[in-house]
Structure 1
Amino acid sequence: MSGKHITTPLSNEVIESLRAGDRVLISGVVYAARDAAHKRMMELLEKGEPLPFDVKGQVIYYVGPTPAKPGQVIGSAGPTTSGRMDKYAPKLLDLGLKGMIGKGYRNQEVRDSIARNKAVYFAAVGGSGALLAKSIQAQEIVAYEDLGPEAIRKLVVDSFSAVVINDIYGNDLYLQGVENYRED
């Protein structure tokens, strides 16, 4: 897939250049975290404690990878449904998180928070976990090893393929797609 090459951590300049529908190839560090890890991060914040990693400028990928086979860095690493993180996303965005990768719609509060905080929501293609795993060059557990696949991982990615769904301008590729379909 061709697309706009972007590198993490994400700057406001890069985010301002992205529009819903843009195809991107992400390189750099991306953090893997799902439901259980997000719940624990919120508990830390409620106690006034620091998060296991600094979210400023970072991207979180909603993924719980399968175990790596011999000779592989990681197992299948397909996206999980993002809506399950909607109750946590606005707080993380307010703290400086700049990107999220998953699949599926985000609620209005998350879309508003994306615009307000100059962030972006990307979708990775569901069902393509083995292919997406090929973009992951290295991984290490950062926190919550007891959660197994849902532990927070630091992933080093090279040309990870995604599509911009929600941009800072209030655009939503999913909603636009429905409207375009209705107009035909």
Structure 2
Amino acid sequence: MDNHIKAPISREDAKSLHAGDYVYLTGVIYTARDAAHKRMKETLDRGEELPFDIKGNMIYYMGPSPAREGRPIGSAGPTTSSRMDKYTPLLLDMGMGGMIGKGKRSKEVIEAIVRNESVYFAAVGGAGALLSKCIKSSEVIAYEDLETEAIRRLEVENFPVVVVIDSEGNNLYETAIQHYRED
């Protein structure tokens, strides 16, 4: 089933999605990878505010390449999500609406997704050039010194993702394997 969802994502929209659903995101999402997540945790540990309001927002685990002439961003493919797992439960508990990446998540992240009625999406790895065509603007908003790992604010239109882990904890990576074995 195809769904068109506005970003930031509402809790109601997150709860309406099911593992395996195809979704097209339109709106604002943020990028952050390992170094940015570490910096965000340090910021919170000092009692300071994050550089953007985490409530309802989604983080795309992406490391962009330099923009080609006339484009807001270069290739924009997902990176392995598990590298952010030690930071993710805290961000979900603070109200993060969802994440976009690739690969499996830890038990602690899955529990936090369920506890917070959030969602984990996968973007297709290896399709970064195609995904970049859905990005209408890109602006570094924090940690510019991290270069490709800086936090960016992206405006996206019909950005294609698949629900991997839904708000009830259903996990496409597990159900797809089970379904394959049954056929």
Structure 2-normalised TM-score? 0.98
Amino acid at match of 2:78: P
In the other structure, the counterpart of 2:62 is: 63
In the other structure, the counterpart of 1:18 is: 17
In the other structure, the counterpart of 1:143 is: 142
User: The residue matched to 1:4 in structure 2 has which SS?
Assistant: strand
- 2-structure distance, mates of 1:64, 1:3: 26
Q: What CA deviation, in whole Å up to 9, does each residue of 1:42-73 have, x standing for no partner?
A: 00111111111110000000001000011111
1:37 shift after superposition: 0.1
Q: Aligned pair 1:34/2:16, yes or no? A: no
- 2-structure distance, mates of 1:181, 1:130: 30
1:3 shift after superposition: 2.2
1:36 shift after superposition: 0.2
Amino acid at match of 1:165: V
- 2-structure distance, mates of 1:49, 1:38: 14
- 2-structure distance, mates of 1:119, 1:16: 7
In the other structure, the counterpart of 1:180 is: 179
Gaps of 5+ in 2: none
- List 4+ stretches of structure 1 deviating above 3 A: none
Gaps of 5+ in 1: none
In the other structure, the counterpart of 2:154 is: 155
Amino acid at match of 2:118: A
Q: What CA deviation, in whole Å up to 9, does each residue of 1:60-96 have, x standing for no partner?
A: 0000100001111100000000000000000000000
- 2-structure distance, mates of 1:102, 1:61: 6
User: The residue matched to 1:147 in structure 2 has which SS?
Assistant: helix
User: The residue matched to 2:4 in structure 1 has which SS?
Assistant: strand
User: The residue matched to 1:155 in structure 2 has which SS?
Assistant: strand
In the other structure, the counterpart of 2:118 is: 119
In the other structure, the counterpart of 1:4 is: 3
Decide which moves more: 173-182 or 34-43.
173-182
Structure 1-normalised TM-score? 0.98
CA RMSD of aligned residues (A): 0.9
- 2-structure distance, mates of 1:64, 1:55: 19
Number of residue pairs matched by the alignment = 183
